[in-house]
């Protein structure tokens, strides 16, 4: 693979993560200066934007991608690294929301999303610590019953055979805690280093002609048949626009983000642990997430650190004491792990929809938007890139499955904040008592 360094300019500072410290700097791109013309302009250099760019360029379009900070500075470079089957909403809820027939289509598309990651890794030879295996953990009986039902439904209705139920007595082979009472092991899900993956996709896209610009925040979108996207130092004229700013797209055009709300989650990464310490917490080597509404998600990285994510602020505020939050969650789950330091902690913003299915749609014929992956975007963003490309190339069927999902608006001001705070409290209570 060739490393493309177009311009060594100074980059806007952003809060870097373990992922940024643990990978090479990735390809570096110049700032947009002056007027540019292209078939397709993409706003946002996360996995949605870059996957779309790569797919679109492969099918012959000229593509310009503008990123406000550095590529991978948003959620795609600050997540839990867990590649999870399906959607944030469980399969029973999806059947209720979209009906039986559409739920089958959605399920097969979600599987394709994970296959796409593996296809891209192999095609572009991306080294990103990809591993399979995943554990959904139940903290109470009602959750364990749901996991068992889901496993049956996936086997019997969706022909998905990769899960097995783990009873309490064998759970400690995977995760050593008194907090979980059972789990569901899934060999269709897994983990990876999402930022290395993103850099690999960006290099592949740049190699086939995608023009990337960093430090080039879109400040205005205007036009009809031809769209003009303006930044502080330049502009891009395009026939089609793909908006891929997700939870980080703030203030550009509020009408595009009525269906999503921005939720803060916090991640911490320890210094490398000894084999004995790892064995005392996650001996099975697979990532774990509990089934709570405000969940803990954790895994051991390939350089043997515990990566632990927790918390959810529905108003999208910065967490005040990130280190304390993560340390307390780790100590609650693993009181036996007393000798560790948190080397990295950071916040990231998740875009969530009300039904927890992503919003992949098109407004005014030539403006596409993909957002609201609701904490499940590592695989679904790649799918969004495929479906948007199909639609732009005149193949509508699969794109339309998502576009036809009815997403409800998030509450608007002045009701928004009180309602979101209430929802957060209700979810906390449900996690404790239901």
Over the window 139 to 178, marking each residue x when it contacts ligand FAD by CB under 6 A and - when it does not, the resulting string is ----------------------------------------
| CA separation for the pair 70, 77 (Å, rounded) | 10
The yes or no reply on residue 68 touching ligand FAD (CB under 6 A) is yes
Q: Over the range 334-358, which residues count as b (16 or more CB within 10 Å of their CB) and which as e?
A: beebeebebebbbbbbbbbbbbbbb
Span interacting with ligand FAD, options 22-30, 97-105, 121-129, 238-246, rule CB under 6 A: 238-246
Among residues 72, 106, 29, 32, the alpha carbon closest in space to that of 201 is found at: 72
Shortest distance (Å) from residue 433 CB to ligand FAD: 26
The yes or no reply on residue 29 touching ligand FAD (CB under 6 A) is no
Site for ligand FAD in 352-381 (CB under 6 A): 373, 375-378, 381
The yes or no reply on residue 256 touching ligand FAD (CB under 6 A) is no
The yes or no reply on residue 188 touching ligand FAD (CB under 6 A) is no
Query: With left for phi above 0 and alpha for psi between -120 and 50, is residue 248 left, alpha or beta?
Result: alpha
> Is the omega angle on the peptide bond into residue 337 within 30 degrees of 0, that is, cis?
no
The yes or no reply on residue 241 touching ligand FAD (CB under 6 A) is no
Q: Which one, 115 or 167, has the nearer CB to ligand FAD?
A: 115
What ranges in 237-369 are assigned the alpha helix state H?
Answer: 275-281, 322-333
Q: Which residue has the CB atom at the shortest distance from ligand FAD? A: 377
The yes or no reply on residue 201 touching ligand FAD (CB under 6 A) is no
Q: How many residues of this chain bind ligand FAD (CB under 6 A)?
A: 43
| CA separation for the pair 333, 72 (Å, rounded) | 30
The backbone torsions φ and ψ at residue 221, rounded to the nearest 5 degrees and listed phi first, read: -120, 130
Judged by CB under 6 A, the residue of 41, 53, 54, 73 near ligand FAD is 73
327 to each of 30, 81, 172, 207, how far by Cα in Å? 39, 19, 22, 42
Q: Which one, 284 or 358, has the nearer CB to ligand FAD?
A: 358
Judged by CB under 6 A, the residue of 171, 201, 236, 244 near ligand FAD is 244
426 to each of 82, 297, 336, 422, 433, how far by Cα in Å? 26, 20, 31, 6, 10
The yes or no reply on residue 43 touching ligand FAD (CB under 6 A) is yes
Helix, strand, or coil (residue 201): helix
Helix, strand, or coil (residue 383): helix
Among residues 213, 266, 220, the alpha carbon closest in space to that of 66 is found at: 213
Judged by CB under 6 A, the residue of 26, 27, 74, 188 near ligand FAD is 74
The yes or no reply on residue 202 touching ligand FAD (CB under 6 A) is no
Site for ligand FAD in 336-355 (CB under 6 A): 348-350
Judged by CB under 6 A, the residue of 49, 182, 183, 382 near ligand FAD is 49
Site for ligand FAD in 277-316 (CB under 6 A): 297, 309
Judged by CB under 6 A, the residue of 53, 56, 63, 84 near ligand FAD is 84
Q: Which one, 48 or 389, has the nearer CB to ligand FAD?
A: 48
The yes or no reply on residue 80 touching ligand FAD (CB under 6 A) is yes
Check if the beta carbon of residue 202 is closer than 8 Å to that of residue 45.
yes
Judged by CB under 6 A, the residue of 32, 41, 75, 330 near ligand FAD is 75
Span interacting with ligand FAD, options 17-25, 46-54, 174-182, 253-261, rule CB under 6 A: 46-54
The backbone torsions φ and ψ at residue 178, rounded to the nearest 5 degrees and listed phi first, read: -85, -10
Helix, strand, or coil (residue 372): coil
Q: Which one, 183 or 348, has the nearer CB to ligand FAD?
A: 348
The yes or no reply on residue 245 touching ligand FAD (CB under 6 A) is yes
Among residues 163, 233, 172, 244, the alpha carbon closest in space to that of 201 is found at: 244
Q: Which one, 190 or 284, has the nearer CB to ligand FAD?
A: 190
Shortest distance (Å) from residue 10 CB to ligand FAD: 17
DSSP, res 257? G
The yes or no reply on residue 86 touching ligand FAD (CB under 6 A) is no
Burial class (CB in 10 A: 0-12, 13-18, 19+), 90: middle
Shortest distance (Å) from residue 93 CB to ligand FAD: 17
- Residue 57 parent element (H or E): helix 47-58
Span interacting with ligand FAD, options 94-102, 124-132, 246-254, 390-398, rule CB under 6 A: 246-254
Q: Is the dihedral of CA 331, 307, 179, 282 positive or negative?
A: negative
Shortest distance (Å) from residue 296 CB to ligand FAD: 11
Question: Which residues form the interface with ligand FAD (CB under 6 A)?
Answer: 43-49, 66-69, 73-76, 78-82, 84, 217-218, 244-249, 252, 265, 267, 297, 309, 348-350, 373, 375-378, 381
């Amino acid at each position: 693979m060739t490393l493309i360094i177009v311009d060594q300019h100074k980059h806007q500072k952003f809060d870097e993560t373990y992922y940024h410290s643990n990978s090479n700097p990735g390809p570096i791109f110049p700032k947009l200066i002056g007027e540019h013309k292209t078939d397709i302009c993409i706003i946002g250099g996360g996995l949605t934007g870059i996957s779309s760019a790569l797919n679109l360029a492969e099918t012959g379009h000229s593509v310009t991608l503008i990123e406000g900070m550095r590529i991978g500075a948003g959620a795609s470079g600050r997540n839990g690294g867990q590649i999870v089957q399906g959607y944030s909403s469980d399969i029973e809820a999806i059947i209720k929301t979209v009906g039986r027939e559409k739920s089958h289509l959605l399920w097969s598309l979600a599987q394709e999303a994970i296959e796409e990651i593996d296809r891209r890794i192999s095609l572009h030879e991306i080294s990103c610590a990809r591993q399979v295996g995943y554990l959904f953990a139940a903290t109470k009986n009602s959750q364990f019953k749901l996991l068992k039902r889901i496993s049956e439904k996936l086997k019997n209705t969706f022909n998905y055979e990769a899960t097995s139920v783990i009873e309490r007595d064998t759970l400690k082979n995977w995760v050593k805690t008194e907090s979980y009472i059972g789990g569901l092991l899934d060999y269709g899900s897994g983990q990876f280093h999402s930022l290395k993956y993103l850099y690999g996709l960006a290099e592949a896209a740049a190699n086939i002609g995608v023009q990337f610009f960093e430090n080039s925040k879109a400040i205005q979108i205007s036009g009809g048949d031809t769209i003009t996207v303006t930044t502080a130092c330049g502009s891009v004229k395009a026939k089609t626009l793909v908006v891929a700013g997700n939870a980080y797209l703030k203030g550009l055009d509020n009408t595009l983000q009525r269906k999503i709300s921005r939720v803060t989650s916090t991640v911490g990464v320890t210094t490398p642990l000894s084999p004995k310490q790892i064995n005392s917490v996650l001996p099975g080597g697979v990532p774990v997430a509990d089934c709570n509404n405000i969940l803990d998600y954790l895994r051991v990285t390939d350089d043997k650190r515990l990566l632990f994510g927790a918390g959810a602020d529905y108003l999208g505020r910065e967490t005040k004491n990130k280190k304390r939050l993560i340390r307390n969650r780790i100590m609650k789950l693993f009181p036996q792990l007393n000798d560790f330091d948190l080397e990295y902690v950071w916040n990231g913003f998740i875009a969530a929809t009300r039904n927890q299915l992503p919003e992949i749609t098109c407004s005014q014929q030539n403006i596409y938007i993909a957002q609201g992956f609701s904490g499940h975007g590592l695989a679904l963003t790649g799918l969004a890139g495929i479906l948007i490309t199909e639609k732009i190339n005149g193949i509508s069927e699969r794109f339309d499955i998502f576009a036809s999902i009815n997403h409800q608006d998030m509450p608007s001001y002045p009701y928004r904040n009180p309602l979101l705070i209430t929802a957060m409290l209700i979810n906390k209570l449900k996690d404790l008592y239901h």
